[in-house]
Amino acid sequence: MTQAVDALDPDQGTFDPDQANRYPPGDLAIWIFILAELLVFAVFFGAYAFTRMDNVELFNEFQLHLDRQAALINTLALITSSYFVVRAVSAIKQNHSAACTRWLIAAMGMGAVFLAVKTGEYSHHIEQGINLSTNTFYMFYLSLTFFHYMHVIMGMVILAAVAIKAKKGGYTAQEHTGVETGASYWHMVDLVWLILFPLVYVMR
């Protein structure tokens, strides 16, 4: 059984492609949910890009008002949190519940950094009187980023639930579907931001 577990761990040198699973890690239901979420974000991104076609100067002007340094910190925070989640999955595959819990808590810490920085950005916009009605650029910027912000909160709730169960010894090397399910959702949140960051903050 241990050999089979090792075979499915991408971070173990004993990985055997012949034993690779045909299905993604975690519960298949979360993947249906993830694909639905990704489709919604794809529509959002397309709408942003095509609306920009008729408002290039407006989008370019107000994009410069955004805090790219905050966006950089947030990107680093989400990538780091995703990496921590990878380590959490690796840990539980080696039956290290305590290490899995610590990696998950670290990932949530990075998620909290993201939320704190983004909340700071929103506070700054509110102080400036910026809202959804200010102009088309801010309508897209605020709605897109806030939609993603809500997903980060949702992801942190899921990671917290997984961490609590891991701490209680609820997962083992043989049965850790819950950890992989939570991890998959969190990676989706990271994946969406990897497109959102350059699109809204950099591309002009």
Q: Binding residues for another protein, per CB under 8 A?
A: 8, 10-13, 15, 17, 20-25, 31, 35, 38-39, 41-42, 45-46, 49-50, 52-53, 56, 60, 64, 68, 71-72, 75-76, 79-80, 82-83, 85-87, 90, 180, 183-184, 187-188, 190-191, 194-195, 197-199, 201-204
CB of 152 to another protein, least distance (A): 15
Instruction: Give dist(CA 129, CA 60) in Å, integer.
Output: 20
CB of 110 to another protein, least distance (A): 12
Give whichever of 17 and 129 is closer to another protein, judged by the CB atom. 17
- Three-state secondary structure call for residue 176: coil
CB of 122 to another protein, least distance (A): 20
CB of 69 to another protein, least distance (A): 8
Give whichever of 141 and 201 is closer to another protein, judged by the CB atom. 201
Give whichever of 85 and 152 is closer to another protein, judged by the CB atom. 85
b/e sequence 12-47, b meaning 16+ C-beta within 10 Å:
eeeeeeeeeeeeebbbeebbeebeebeeebeebbee
- Three-state secondary structure call for residue 164: helix
Q: Are 85 and 77 in contact (CB under 8 A)?
A: no
Q: Are 172 and 20 in contact (CB under 8 A)?
A: no
